Chains A and B, each alone.
Chain A
């Protein structure tokens, strides 16, 4: 489903990622780990094509980083859900509207939007927070809103960049359990983190370790 083929993406002074060769299949749970600056975020950005490799290529289903056109990128993004450490929710609208936005952008019908949004909010345990603004929610709740927003359009893979970065250990574990539950339903999940304690929480997850832009071990 996702393949990196000799992919290189470097910024100035050699920083970046080099010679990446790996594949991720449908429904897998993958941890990307490594010290700060190793290139975890860079790999995720290559997957949702916010960055492009200057050498080699990245394939996501039918999307080829060397062939994709600018106006096709939104269609890739509809297949790839993303969540971040800093949530990136819109503060001027409530939970429902934040999640529904993703469906409006993908041209769903009003009736379908409503049932899907309520359904997904219940799944992430936010059925009682529908009309709250992001500022009225805890960090863990906000992160669950972003998960709902990423999942509502039924992506093939969910990318999470340091999703527990701003959460306390207990909430972090809840969150990783939620991601595990989502993965069990069939969505591939890729989590970039340097929090090794999370990894043990998902038995059977694959582990890709990166250091200074290169893969040093892969399971």
Chain B
């Protein structure tokens, strides 16, 4: 008990004794956590936006004019059973004519005396099937159905989207990995400086017969506290920035940041962890 209490107090006092270098470590950790925190939200919302664009992807299935009502009903039932399909709309020739009028401002019956528009279905896919390979596979199956006349979808839309999504994903992951690495290195180095400034403690401790563990623990406690405090600072700043964005700039940028309390908890845990790992790494160097 005595020993644990002593080590904890040492770690805590160490934080106060280290003054500038301790404050510097806290700032560095705060910056690191802010980088990662903002990085995460930007990455998440960028990917979310791309996913939204992708959600707009749909396929129009035009039915042969010769198909009977029963044929169409049977086809409708078949589509409903396919679990790749998320959403399904049937458009009868009459509705198609109405849509035509809405879009082109002209009544189809003014041009022709019959309705040439075929019945059709518009289907959208569940998220995991919204990719070129799945879409083409499903399209092939549907195309072979005797009631289907033609399938239309924007293949290029998918190709371009997939290309960009991959680029965006890799860029985002890359930046994120680099940011995380930078924060680990920054943290570890600034903690190393804190320890470097107090090497006398380490040599004195060795001299009086302290075990490596005894020497190490206060520094690790100190680093962990620095991590916790740094991430607390970062979390408060991020909270403030998001608050400003959502209150004053929301309409300006047409963007609202939504994060749950779990996001802040994660930042605190991450910072504390960073301080812990960083100080363990740093102290190891001084214990040869």
A114-131 vs B, Cβ < 8 Å mask (1 yes, 0 no) = 000000000000000000
Per-position binary interface string of chain B over residues 177-210, scored 1 when its CB falls under 8 Å from any chain A CB and 0 otherwise: 0000000000000000000001011011111111
Assembly CA distance A108 to B17 (angstroms): 25
The chain A residue sitting closest to B200, CB to CB, is A90
With a CB–CB cut-off of 8 A, which chain B residues contact A110?
2
A109 nearest CB across to chain B (Å): 5
B208 touches A109 (CB 8 A): no
Whether A107 contacts B207 by the Cβ 8 Å rule is: no
**Complex partner residue of A74 from B17, B201, B203, B210, CB under 8 angstroms:** B210
* Given the contacts A104-B3, A105-B214, A90 and B204 also touching, CB distance less than 8 Å: yes
Q: Please, how many residues of chain A have a CB less than 8 angstroms from a CB on the other chain? A: 26
Residue of chain A at shortest CB distance from B212: A71
Looking at A71, A92, A104, A110, the one whose CB has the most chain B CB atoms below 10 A away is A104
Among B2, B201, B209, point to the contact of A77 (Cβ < 8 A).
B209
Q: How many A-B residue pairs have CB under 8 A?
A: 55
The closest CB in chain B to the CB of A111 belongs to B2
Among residues of B, the one whose C-beta sits closest to the C-beta of A110 is: B2
**Which chain A residues (82-124) contact chain B, with CB distance < 8 Å?**
82, 88-92, 101-102, 104-110, 113
Is B83 at the interface (CB under 8 A from chain A)?
no
Q: Give complex CA distance A88, B204 in Å.
A: 7
Residues of B within 8 A of A18 (CB): none
Distance between Cα atoms of A200 and B204 in the complex (Å): 32
A11 contacts the other chain (CB 8 A): no
What sequence of 0s and 1s flags, for each residue 37-66 of chain A, a beta carbon within 8 Å of any chain B beta carbon?
000000000001000000000000000000
CB of B6 closer than 8 Å to a CB of A: yes
Residues of chain A within 8 A of B209, CB atoms compared: 74-78, 102, 105-106, 153
Q: Is the CB of B2 within 8 A of A109?
A: yes
CA distance A115 to B209 in the complex (A): 20
User: In chain B, what residue has the closest Cβ to A106?
Assistant: B209
B208, A105: Cβ atoms under 8 Å? yes
Tell me which residues across on chain A come within 8 A of B210, comparing CB atoms. Answer: 74, 105
A108:B211 contact, CB within 8 angstroms: no
A149 at the interface (CB under 8 A from B): yes
Best-buried of A90, A91, A109, A113 by chain B (most CB within 10 Å): A90
Is A88 within 8 A of B6, CB to CB?
Answer: no
Q: Most chain-A Cβ atoms within 10 A of its Cβ — which of B17, B201, B209, B214?
A: B209
A92 to B18, CA, bound (A): 10
Q: Say yes or no: A90 contacts B201, CB within 8 Å.
A: yes
Interface string of B208-227 (1 = CB under 8 A from A): 11111010000000000000
Q: A88-B200, A88-B203, A108-B2 are in contact. Are A102 and B208 (CB under 8 A)?
A: yes
Residue of A nearest to B16 (CB): A92
Chain B residues in 8 Å Cβ range of A106: 209
B9 → chain A, closest Cβ, in Å? 10
Closest Cβ–Cβ distance, residue A210 to chain B (whole Å)? 23
Measured between alpha carbons, how far is A72 from B212 in the docked complex, in Å?
Answer: 11
A1 to B3, CA, bound (A): 31
- CA–CA, A12 to B11, complex, Å? 40
Query: How far apart are the CA atoms of A105 and B202 in the complex, in Å?
Result: 12
Q: List 12 A-B contacts (CB under 8 A).
A: A74-B209, A74-B212, A77-B207, A78-B208, A82-B207, A88-B200, A91-B200, A92-B17, A104-B6, A105-B209, A109-B2, A153-B209
Task: Across the A-B interface, give the 4 residue pairs with the lowest CB-CB distance, nearest first.
Answer: A77-B209, A105-B210, A78-B209, A102-B208
Question: Which residues of B are interface residues toward A (Cβ below 8 A)?
Answer: 2-3, 6, 17, 198, 200-201, 203-212, 214
Give me 17 other A-B pairs in contact (C-beta within 8 A), A74-B206, A74-B211, A88-B203 excluded.
Answer: A48-B207, A88-B200, A88-B204, A90-B201, A92-B17, A101-B205, A102-B209, A104-B2, A104-B3, A104-B214, A105-B214, A107-B2, A108-B2, A109-B2, A110-B2, A149-B208, A153-B208
